[in-house]
């Protein structure tokens, strides 16, 4: 279902994921979400440095 969330615009948002998730209830752990965001932001920065973007 994550593929559906990124299908049209090649981006994913929490709202799109929740809308496309195959159940009527979704639990979001805010602390884990924030941690994942920080890790992805660092990875993005490292990749940009590595690739010269």
The pTM (predicted TM-score) of the whole model is 0.53
Question: What do you get for the CA distance between the two ends of the chain, in Å?
Answer: 30
Domain count for the chain: 1
More confidently predicted of 6 and 29? 29
Tell me how crowded residue 5 is: count the other CB atoms within 10 A of its CB: 19
Q: DSSP for 1-34?
A: -HHHHHTTTS---HHHHHHHSSSS-----HHHHH
Q: Quick one: pLDDT at residue 5?
A: 59
Give the tens place of pLDDT for each residue, 9-33. 777 777 887 787 778 887 889 999 9
Phi/psi region, residue 52 (left: phi>0; alpha: psi -120 to 50; beta: rest), is left
Q: Determine the structural domain holding residue 42 and report its residue range.
A: 2-51
């Amino acid at each position: 279902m994550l593929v559906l969330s990124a299908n049209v615009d090649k981006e994913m948002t929490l709202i799109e994921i929740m809308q496309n998730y195959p159940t009527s209830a979704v639990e979001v752990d805010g602390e884990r979400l924030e941690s994942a965001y920080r890790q992805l932001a660092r990875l993005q920065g490292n990749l940009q440095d590595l690739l010269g973007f």
